[in-house]
Copies of this chain bind each other. A is one copy, B any other.
Amino acid sequence: STRYSTKIKTPTNAGTAHEVSNKQRIFFTDPVSPGSIFFLPNGTKIFNKLLQFMKLQQQHKYGFQEVVTPLIYRKSLWEQSGHWDNYKDDMFRVMGSDTSKEEYGLKPMNCPGHCVIFKRFDRSYNELPVRLSDFSPLHRNEASGALSGLTRVRKFHQDDGHIFCAPGQVEEEIIKCLKLVDLCYTKIFPLSESLQSAAYSLELSTRPDNFIGDIEIWNHAEDVLKDILMKSGKEWEINEGDGAFYGPKIDIKVSDKSGKSHQIATIQLDFQLPERFDLRYKDRDNTYKRPIMIHRAVFGSLERFLAMLIDRNEGKWPFWLNPRQAMIIPVNTKQAAQVDASRKLLSYLRHEGDPNDDMPVPLNSFHFNVDIDERAEPVGYRIKDALTKDYSYLIIIGDKEVESSKYAVRTRQDRALEHLTSQEIFAKFSDLERRYV
């Protein structure tokens, strides 16, 4: 993660997130833990899908290896990393009941822990780059007055990653980071104001006056970054002298509906932590060299990213993320055959196991978030209600559908009915999820 980030501007429209959350039971906060989100089952479904998406991309397309790391570290580690001097007031302190013993810091970022992992083994040039990803909960002690919904929190999760590489590998690594950013923000999560405007903008921040390290390494790195940005064909601008003292960075920003710009992803070079932790690898020539560290996050804070998604979609989730993917509506709830067929389809699409048998639910299986509305209300009323509740699909089952075993499927947006068998619906839904649509 960004190491000593300044407060990040967040969507102004916290109202939308609250409204959608109340309607869909996504999350809540409570004074028992100010600034920590309680994700309800529907919110947890969305949260887990976002994680799943990112883990798959990082591990199977971009060469990351996931690790699970401690949450509390001795004060001495934070002194070594420099956080104790620079960041102490934003950190939570942890103590055992014997408060005279050494205290711990509850981690606000994963970087020092990843340095410990890198340092643990003798590293050779031929295993670089080492790319570690981590989804640990992080804590920062924001002032209680500033806390707000999903956007100003004390506990959050980052799709965090650190790359330890040789100086000559920086270019390729940054290009790959930007590819993943592009995949996310143009293809899977278009957050921008309109299809006309760019999905996101890029900002390069360069060497500040109080920089540390070798000026030639800085110059080279900045040249590499500029060159990459130039060739990217994307909008970008430069903030001269606005980099962190330990390295230049690229921030990725999107605009919310009101046109306000927000930082989401970040890619940050670090010449300092490898020094502080005395990280090294054995090069081809048998001498020890210092790796460069790259901090990067694509979603950034998952909580904030979720807020931006809601700001944009107002609860109209794409199918794959929707905790309410389809509502099944038997036309006449007094017709046992219609209700039976509806319940069978419900169980088929949920792909539920029987608690009484000893067959495990298979790994990597699809299970759709489908509900049934069997209330003795007019069908038109129930259709309208399901639309109000933002279901992606409605599946309507009358006598004709029961007889043909082909059910009437319509989307949220379009009244047009498609008649599909249960297998066809399952295949259609699987295809949508598989492709993140």
Contact = CB atoms under 8 A, between A and B. Distances in A.
Interface of A: 28, 30-33, 36-41, 43-45, 47-49, 52-53, 56-57, 59-63, 65-74, 76-77, 88-97, 99, 104, 106, 113, 116-117, 120, 132, 137, 139, 141, 155, 176, 179-180, 182-183, 186-188, 320, 350-356, 358, 360-367, 433-436
Given A88-B97, A352-B61, A117 B38 contact: yes
A95 B95 contact: yes
A32 B80 CA distance: 11
Given A72-B36, A95-B95, A365-B56, A360 B435 contact: yes
Given A36-B69, A106-B106, A182-B358, 7 more contacts: A33-B73, A37-B70, A40-B67, A60-B365, A72-B155, A362-B435, A364-B366
Nearest to A42: B65
Contact of A93 (B52, B91, B94): B94
Contact of A53 (B67, B97, B363): B363
A362 B55 CA distance: 11
16 contacts: A31-B74, A36-B70, A37-B70, A41-B65, A44-B65, A44-B66, A44-B67, A53-B363, A60-B353, A71-B155, A72-B139, A72-B155, A90-B97, A93-B97, A93-B99, A188-B360
Contact of A361 (B56, B350, B364, B366): B56
Contact of A72 (B92, B116, B180, B358): B92
Contacts of A33: 70, 72-74, 77, 104
A122 B352 CA distance: 27
A153 to B, nearest CB: 10
Contacts of A70: 32-33, 36-38, 155
A365 B363 contact: no
Contacts of A61: 352-355, 360-361
Contact of A360 (B31, B73, B139, B183): B183
Contacts of A360: 53, 56-57, 61, 183, 187-188, 435-436
Contacts of A90: 97
A71 B36 contact: yes
A106 B91 contact: no
A59 B305 CA distance: 25
A362 B437 CA distance: 11
A279 to B, nearest CB: 15
A301 to B, nearest CB: 14
Nearest to A119: B30
B68 A39 contact: yes
A257 B88 CA distance: 48
Of A71, A187, A352, A433, most B-chain CB atoms within 10 Å? A71
Nearest to A320: B363
A364 B364 contact: yes
A32 B364 contact: no
A32 B435 contact: no
